[in-house]
């Protein structure tokens, strides 16, 4: 299993690594360790580059998890590095940090909606500095969405700490409302659960990368809302400095 620093330190921008396997068909390489988030939970995979110790560099256009390993997709117009090549795996940090801000903003949104309306999440997705989240709401109005936006920005301005923990399965599932999605997306048989806590607001299972305090998010603006079904409403947001 390759080591991935992103799960314990979202601010790790690079790491020394060695190519341990090559997949020409997928045009991808496996490293012994990495900082690349492989995508999941609505958060896109990281991009960046591999810089060889002996020269040369390779653009990483994405990453994907296979079992416990993270495979790095290399740009199609570049030859793959060979096994045992020593590289520095480097993130496109500006893009990653924007995704961290956006992911944390969506968790603040989720926390506010759950606290004030007890509405479960039915879906979500994000790009750097924009995202959407679907909730169980029978009705939604501009007035309601404006109030949600105001309360989200109050929580961001409170600069709440965001903590990452890995808990034993039994301890994690003893926490009420740990899974906020309508459908439990956690795989069966897992022995540990990674949690994200916005101290004083929200605690839920999550595998993505986040900023350390809500104040780092910036400011959230709701850009629209729409009905996606009888009891399914979508809220779209943008994140700004």
CATH of the domain at 140: 3.30.980.10
Examine the domain organization and report whether 168 and 87 are in the same domain: no
Closest CA to 222 of 156, 135, 132, 160: 132
Examine the domain organization and report whether 187 and 121 are in the same domain: yes
Rounded Cα gap, residues 209 and 102, in angstroms: 10
Residue-level pLDDT at 175: 85
Q: Which domain holds residue 20?
A: 3-91
Residue-level pLDDT at 2: 82
Taking CA atoms, 127 is separated from 3, 98, 169, in Å, by: 25, 8, 30
Number of domains, the chain: 2
Residue-level pLDDT at 64: 97
DSSP SS3 for 163: strand
Examine the domain organization and report whether 103 and 83 are in the same domain: no
Residue-level pLDDT at 176: 76
By the 8 A CB rule, do 217 and 197 touch?
Answer: no
Residue range 31-41: mean pLDDT, rounded: 96
Q: CATH code at 40?
A: 2.40.30.130
Residue-level pLDDT at 240: 98
- Mean model confidence pLDDT for the chain: 94
Q: What is the pTM of this model?
A: 0.94
In tens, the pLDDT along 139-189 reads 999 999 999 999 999 999 999 999 999 998 888 878 877 876 655 556 666
Examine the domain organization and report whether 133 and 41 are in the same domain: no
Domain boundary among 29, 63, 91: 91
Domain boundary among 50, 71, 91: 91
CA angle 68, 163, 180 (to 5 degrees): 75
Residue-level pLDDT at 41: 87
pLDDT > 70? residue 194: yes
State the virtual CA torsion across 153, 157, 161, 164 in degrees, nearest 10. Answer: 30
In tens, the pLDDT along 65-74 reads 999 899 999 9
Examine the domain organization and report whether 45 and 106 are in the same domain: no
Residue-level pLDDT at 216: 98
Residue 125 zone, left/alpha/beta (φ > 0; ψ -120 to 50; rest): beta
Examine the domain organization and report whether 57 and 167 are in the same domain: no
Taking CA atoms, 37 is separated from 15, 32, 182, in Å, by: 13, 14, 24
């Amino acid at each position: 299993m390759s080591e991935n620093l992103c799960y314990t330190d979202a601010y790790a921008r690079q790491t020394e690594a060695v190519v341990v396997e090559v997949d020409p068909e997928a045009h991808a390489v496996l490293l012994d360790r990495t900082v690349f988030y492989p995508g999941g939970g609505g958060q896109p995979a990281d991009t960046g580059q591999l810089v060889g110790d002996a020269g040369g560099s390779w653009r990483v256009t994405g990453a994907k998890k296979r079992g416990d390993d993270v495979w790095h997709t290399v740009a199609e117009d570049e030859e793959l590095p060979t096994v045992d090549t020593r590289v520095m795996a480097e993130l496109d940090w500006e893009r990653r940090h924007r995704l961290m801000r956006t992911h944390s903003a969506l968790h603040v949104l989720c926390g506010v909606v759950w606290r004030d309306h007890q509405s479960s999440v039915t879906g979500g997705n994000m790009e750097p500095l924009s995202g959407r989240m679907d909730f169980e709401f029978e009705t939604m109005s501009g007035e309601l969405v404006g109030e949600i936006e105001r309360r989200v920005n109050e929580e961001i301005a409170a600069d709440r700490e965001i903590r990452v923990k890995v808990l034993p399965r039994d301890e994690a599932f003893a926490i009420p409302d740990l899974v906020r999605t309508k459908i439990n997306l956690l795989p069966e048989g897992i022995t540990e659960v990674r949690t994200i806590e916005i101290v004083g607001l929200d605690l839920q299972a999550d595998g993505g990368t986040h900023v350390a305090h809500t104040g780092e998010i910036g400011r959230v603006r709701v850009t629209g809302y729409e009905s996606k079904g009888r009891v399914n409403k979508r809220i779209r947001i943008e994140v700004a400095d």
